[in-house]
Amino acid sequence: QVQLVQSGAEVKKPGASVKVSCKASGYTFTTYYMHWVRQAPGQGLEWMGIINPSGGSPSYAQKFQGRVTMTRDTSTSTVYMELSSLRSEDTAVYYCARPYISSLYRVFGYWGQGTLVTVSS
């Protein structure tokens, strides 16, 4: 079965960077795009960007341009999201999410369990 397993919670200081991983299993990794979505405490969902595990340049939400980098490692079926210049407003749960079917690649079907990133001095 499809599984997306994310790395554990992180606590970072303002100005630092964080790198969250999402290890995929149960399907052919390069077949489906992967998204990153975040949710601040008590707030709504915010899309951060999308990466094609088979290659090509990721696409980022304008809000995060210049601060976010999404990469993938096909040898381990893992995607990564790195966010730099962290500020307190970046405190959130970060999710990776995969479409159910490749033709509906902008619909989030499978989700990771979420990674809480806390930014605090």
Binding region for other proteins (CB under 8 A): 35, 44-47, 50, 59, 61-62, 95, 97, 100, 104, 106-109, 111-114
Cβ 92 to other proteins shortest distance, Å: 13
Residue 16 C-beta: closest distance to other proteins, Å? 26
User: What backbone phi and psi angles, to 5 degrees, belong to 92?
Assistant: -175, 170
**Residue with token string 């990776």:** 96
Instruction: Tally the C-alpha atoms within 13 A of residue 44's C-alpha that lie toward its C-beta.
Output: 2
Q: How far apart are CA 85 and CA 66, in angstroms?
A: 10
Nearer to other proteins by C-beta: 15 or 100?
Answer: 100
Output 56 or 75, the one with its CB closest to other proteins. 56
Residue 18 contacts residue 51 (beta carbons within 8 Å): no
Closest CB to other proteins among 63 and 87? 63
C-beta separation of 111 from 92 below 8 A: no
SS3 state of residue 62 = helix
Give the nearer residue to other proteins in terms of CB position, either 69 or 116. Answer: 116
Q: How far is the CB of 69 from other proteins (least distance, A)?
A: 18
Task: Report, in Å, the least distance between residue 7 CB and other proteins.
Answer: 15
